[in-house]
Amino acid sequence: MIILAVEATRAIFVDIVKRKFSWQEALFQAWFMTKVSLLPTILVAIPFGVIVSVQIGGIANQIGAISFSGAVNGIGVLRQGAPLVTSLMIAGAVGSALCSDIGARTVREEVDALRVMGINPVNRLVAPRLFAAIVVALLLNVIVAVTAIATGYFLNVGGGNVSSGTYLNSFISFSQVTDLLLAEMKAAIFGFIATIVAAHKGLNAKGGPKGVADAVNQAVVLSFILLSVVNVALTQAYVMLVPQRIA
């Protein structure tokens, strides 16, 4: 899997430099990934924003810190919520579709046919999908963040818990540009990992349709595990290395 990650990354940069990169395939895959993940992402982001706002608002109200609900909601969504929701969508919706596509090509011996013709399957199949998945992950992360934060704003302000100015002031006072950069970096890494796992399982699928189904299941489960571990590592590194703002 590590070898595949290195080969796919190298293929992207080398093909772009040599002007051999399949932009048409990458664009097609990005559009396909967006279609299968955009609506589920929005449908998950809205209730996620509601849950976060209700829980944070309730706790903040109990301890007399309701004026800081905007800051807590914003930081929670940017640093953890948006990247995690994005990772679930990329691994679940995009990863499963990608793995089933490559797996079906493998069991039909299309991948072997590419090798016989002298075409590297990594360059032809994996690299464009990897590039597209990273771009889509960045886009979905922004959509989740905006949707969840907007949901929290309307719930808190519309519910009369806090004024609009107070909510926005606390959000601006504590949130940093580095929080958004962390979220985007997480999204890109999550998209990279989910795609590599899905492609690896798809390229090694065996046993006909049942083998493809097993590969998809393994890809989704392994992606969730890896993404959870990487998320913890990135969050801890961020907390240790980036000074936290004190309003």
pLDDT band at 193 (very low <50, low <70, confident <90, very high): very high
Maximum average pLDDT range among 1-5, 152-156, 165-169, 173-177: 1-5
pLDDT of residue 234: 85
Task: Look up residue 48 and give its DSSP letter.
Answer: H
Q: Report DSSP letters for 147-207, one per residue.
A: HHHHHHHHHHHHTTSS-HHHHHHHHHHH--HHHHHHHHHHHHHHHHHHHHHHHHHHHT--S
Question: Average pLDDT for residues 63-82, to the nearest whole number?
Answer: 76
- Worst-scoring range by mean pLDDT, 19-33, 72-86, 176-190, 191-205? 72-86
Alpha helices (H) along the chain: 2-17, 23-62, 69-76, 82-89, 95-107, 110-116, 121, 127-158, 164-174, 177-203, 208-241
Check the CA dihedral 159-161-162-168 and report its sign.
Answer: negative
pLDDT of residue 245: 57
Q: State residue 117 phi and psi, 5-degree precision.
A: -80, 0
Quote the pTM value: 0.86
